[in-house]
Amino acid sequence: MNLVRRFLPQNTKFDFVSKRLIAYAFTTVLVIASCVSMATKGFNLGIDFAGGILMEVKSRGGPADLASMRATVSSLELGEVALQEFGAPDLILVRLQRQEGGEQAQQAAVVKVKSALGEGYDYRRTEFVGPKVGEELIRGGILAVVLSVLAIAVYVWFRFEWQFGVGALIATFHDVITTFGVFSLTGLEFNLTSVAAILTIVGYSINDTVVEYDRVRENLRKYKAMNTYDIINLSVNETLARTFLTGGTVFVSVLALLLFGGEVIRGFSVAMLW
């Protein structure tokens, strides 16, 4: 890490504060666009929230060929499907979107999947997730995000001053709303993995905020004759190398997840890259 730091510019003197109006305008446009998209277009809700069919399948011949199974089930034209390992290489969780036509349509879809996969699998359980369960998960996900943001704001408030708490709340609100906006604008599937990504973003965002606030507080005590404008610029420049290193490390890691992680965690990867 120290070797990489040597190649980064040291003692930078960028005037970040002078560009704040441009940043205000840009972020305001992003937040408004996100809110408008969420209000008009909504989300492409995944099975977790919209309801559907859940099947736990065990391969009789050892580790399952997940790619082959996914291709087989996808070819049945049952709508949205998702397959993933479930604790062991021979255990697969198959999720199908809710079929139109009532209970008979759900049962018919299950029979269709079993017939397509053949005799090489045992079906350990089959569950039907109704819209009511999906609504409860939506409420739970929203509550988790709201409570995490508020808890972090209170933490910053007590650790620093109330003005810092307000700033942290606004910054975290921006990150959360624009991430929701990405899912709405792009039509990416929004599921429980997406909620996990948003909660991760909340934690990552506040971590960077606390680092900046620590340096600002330190410089306020160290340079009492310096005005707030210059102290903020100095603090951001002093932590710039650390921000680049942390952000770059996360970017490379998440990019690898996006390229090689498959469809199951694609939403998580896109949200983190955003």
Domains and their CATH numbers in the chain: 2-44+133-273 (1.20.1640.10), 52-129 (3.30.70.3400)
pLDDT category at 40 given cuts 50, 70, 90 is: very high
Return the closest-CA partner of residue 235 out of 1, 7, 72, 16: 16
In the numeric block, the tokens 């972090």 are attached to 152
Residue 174 has pLDDT above 80, yes or no: yes
pLDDT category at 166 given cuts 50, 70, 90 is: confident
Higher-pLDDT residue of 82, 263: 82
| Residue 228: predicted pLDDT | 85
- Range with top average pLDDT, 19-33, 59-73, 140-154, 159-173: 19-33
| Residue 10: predicted pLDDT | 67
CA distances in angstroms from 255 to 161, 243, 259, listed in the order given: 36, 18, 6
| Residue 8: predicted pLDDT | 60
Residue 102 — left, alpha, or beta (φ > 0 → left; ψ -120 to 50 → alpha)?
left
Average pLDDT, the chain: 83
Contacts (Cβ under 8 Å, ≥6 apart) of 98: 47, 50, 51, 52, 53, 106, 129, 130, 131
Residue 156 has pLDDT above 80, yes or no: no
Residue 49 has pLDDT above 90, yes or no: no
Residue 262 has pLDDT above 80, yes or no: no
- Find the helix or strand (DSSP H, E) in which 249 lies: helix 240-260
Write the single-letter amino acid at 232. Answer: I
Return the closest-CA partner of residue 260 out of 247, 269, 271: 269
DSSP letter (8 states) at residue 67: H
Mean pLDDT of 220-230: 87
pLDDT category at 28 given cuts 50, 70, 90 is: very high
Return the closest-CA partner of residue 124 out of 69, 55, 53: 55
Q: Rounded to the nearest 5°, which phi and psi values hold at 160?
A: -115, -110
Mean pLDDT of 218-235: 87
Q: Could you give the CA distance from residue 210 to residue 197 in angstroms, rounded to a whole number?
A: 20
Mean pLDDT of 13-22: 88
Mean pLDDT lowest among 16-25, 32-41, 130-139, 188-197: 130-139
pTM, 2 dp: 0.74
Mean pLDDT of 209-232: 86
| Residue 37: predicted pLDDT | 93
Residue 179 has pLDDT above 80, yes or no: yes
User: Cα–chain-centroid distance for residue 52?
Assistant: 22
Is 216 within 8 Å of 232 (Cβ atoms)?
yes
Residue 34 CB: number of other CB atoms within 10 A?
21
Residue 78 has pLDDT above 80, yes or no: yes
| Residue 30: predicted pLDDT | 93
Higher-pLDDT residue of 9, 14: 14
Residue 34 has pLDDT above 90, yes or no: yes
| Residue 267: predicted pLDDT | 82
Is 41 within 8 Å of 184 (Cβ atoms)?
yes
Return the closest-CA partner of residue 97 out of 113, 118, 114: 113
| Residue 188: predicted pLDDT | 84
